[in-house]
């Protein structure tokens, strides 16, 4: 896939036997030149060892490599776990002839089990030898856990007459549940940008994308978004217009990945856009959208194609936002099912149910309390979710 290339980046993937099924479970990404970097990390108080190490290394400056494994989260593994993460960085650095501080580490998988360091150690020299510009697709596959497909998204831009690329890969499924599975996202670009502007862009993009598909604070022990920009596009300092376009491009890449994650929600059959408008404040709009989007009863009704707006009203009522029952209007796509807090009627609900038979639809709630709006993307809750998660470790 010649398209999945970014100037100056190489990648490789391997099977270290961390996953029980013997599949690809380790990926290496390498930048020929030291890259400006920025990251967003889990806010969970229980942070996996690779999160602690990568936070530390990203603060130190330029980054050259990312080593990531699936099958084992290296979380709740204590001091030995942190030593293992450091050891991974050292092994990669030694083979690549770089500094261990220039290596970021990411892990996803089962919590509480030590990394099989002997096997990882054995596989790293091969990963370095196999580094190729075309290796990014394989890397995207190697970080998958319960994902049913690999996730890559791209954007092409221009700055100072020089074309540049942004390529993102992510793993994650089911994070739209009240407990999210680990989400990893690596974005690579050859744009030349300073770390401060890069960090700002990343915070902005994450806020309106990945943070809109998960419950506030419901972060796993291992979540991270890492963005590397190696400057090999050769552009000069970005004008404010160019910077803005880069931000849009980065948001586009993350938005596409975030929607892929929802679509790949564990056992999900539908993607639902929960839109709230007319909220009294931005916070109310967000809280209302999140509460509805994360309600197990609402999500189960989505699965059943049941426009059960009573559950939406009940979720709004317990979300602690400013609202008046008699002011609420609700639509499924273009079909209004609630008018001033009351049912529009059976015909409307029958039509709404037809909309809900689609793979994607929207639910719009107008609170009529103010001018603020927000959106959270969610999926339906299905029996398949239970079966995926009840035997995840076995």
**Residue 203 or 387 with smaller CB distance to its own copies:** 387
Dist CA 76 CA 259 (whole Å):
30
Tell me which residue of 267, 379, 296, 284 sits closest to 322, measured CA to CA: 284
| Pairing between β-strand 162-171 and β-strand 184-189 as defined by DSSP bridges | antiparallel
Task: Please report how close the Cβ of residue 229 comes to its own copies at its closest, in angstroms.
Answer: 30
Element (H, E) at 374: strand 372-379
**Residue 248 or 297 with smaller CB distance to its own copies:** 297
Q: Which residues lie closer than 8 Å to 391 by C-beta, 6 or more apart?
A: none
Task: Please report how close the Cβ of residue 80 comes to its own copies at its closest, in angstroms.
Answer: 8
Query: Choosing from 77, 108, 146, 182, which is the catalytic residue?
Result: 182
Identify whether the C-beta of residue 82 lies closer than 8 Å to the C-beta of residue 47.
no
Task: Please report how close the Cβ of residue 280 comes to its own copies at its closest, in angstroms.
Answer: 13
**Residue 210 or 385 with smaller CB distance to its own copies:** 385
For the chain, how far is it from start to end, CA to CA, in angstroms?
Answer: 34
To the query of whether residue 182 is one of the catalytic residues in this protein, the response is yes
Task: Please report how close the Cβ of residue 342 comes to its own copies at its closest, in angstroms.
Answer: 5
Task: Please report how close the Cβ of residue 92 comes to its own copies at its closest, in angstroms.
Answer: 25
**Residue 246 or 302 with smaller CB distance to its own copies:** 302
**Residue 250 or 323 with smaller CB distance to its own copies:** 323
Tell me which residue of 127, 227, 137 sits closest to 185, measured CA to CA: 227
Binding site for its own copies (CB under 8 A): 43-47, 73, 75-78, 110-113, 177-179, 181, 217-221, 294-298, 300-301, 303-304, 306, 308-311, 313-318, 320, 323, 325-326, 338, 340-343, 381-383, 385-387, 389-394
SS (H, E, C) 191-223: CCCCHHHHHHHHHHHHHHCHHHCCCCCCCCCCC
In a 3-state reduction of DSSP, which class is residue 307? Answer: coil
Identify whether the C-beta of residue 58 lies closer than 8 Å to the C-beta of residue 102.
no
Catalytically annotated residues? 182
């Amino acid at each position: 896939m010649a398209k999945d290339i970014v100037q100056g980046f190489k990648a490789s993937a391997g099977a270290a036997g961390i996953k029980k099924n013997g599949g690809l479970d380790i990926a290496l990404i390498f930048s020929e030149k030291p890259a400006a970097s920025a990251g967003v990390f889990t806010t969970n108080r229980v942070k996996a060892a690779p999160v602690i190490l990568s936070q530390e290394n990203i603060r130190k400056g330029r980054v050259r490599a990312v080593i990531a494994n699936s099958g084992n989260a290296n979380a709740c593994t204590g001091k030995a776990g942190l030593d293992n993460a450091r050891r991974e960085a050292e092994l990669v650095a030694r083979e690549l002839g770089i500094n261990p501080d220039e290596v970021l580490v990411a892990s996803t998988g089962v919590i509480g089990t030590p990394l099989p360091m002997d096997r990882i150690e054995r596989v790293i020299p091969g990963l370095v030898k196999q580094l190729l510009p075309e290796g990014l697709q394989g890397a995207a596959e190697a970080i998958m856990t319960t994902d049913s497909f690999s996730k890559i998204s791209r954007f092409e831009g221009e700055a100072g007459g020089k074309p540049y690329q942004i390529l993102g890969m992510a793993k994650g499924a089911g994070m739209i549940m009240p407990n999210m599975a680990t989400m990893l996202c690596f974005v690579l670009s050859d744009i030349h940008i300073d770390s401060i502007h890069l960090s700002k862009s990343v915070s902005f993009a994450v806020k309106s994308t990945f943070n809109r598909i998960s419950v506030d604070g419901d972060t796993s022990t291992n979540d991270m978004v890492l963005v590397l920009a190696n400057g090999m596009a050769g552009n000069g300092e970005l004008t404010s217009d160019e910077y803005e376009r880069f931000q849009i491009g980065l948001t586009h890449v993350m938005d596409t990945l975030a929607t892929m994650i929802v679509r790949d929600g564990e056992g999900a059959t539908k993607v639902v856009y929960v839109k709230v408008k007319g909220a009294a404040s931005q916070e109310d709009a967000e809280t209302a959208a999140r509460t509805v989007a994360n309600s197990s009863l609402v999500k189960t009704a989505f699965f059943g194609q049941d426009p059960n707006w009573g559950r939406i009203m009940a979720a709004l009522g317990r979300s602690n936002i400013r609202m008046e029952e008699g002011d609420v209007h609700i639509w499924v796509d273009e079909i209004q099912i609630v008018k001033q807090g009351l049912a529009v009627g059976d015909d409307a609900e029958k039509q709404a149910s037809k909309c809900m038979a689609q793979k994607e639809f929207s639910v719009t709630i107008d609170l009529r309390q103010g001018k603020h709006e927000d959106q959270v993307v969610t999926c339906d809750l299905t029996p398949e979710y239970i079966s995926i998660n009840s035997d995840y470790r076995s």
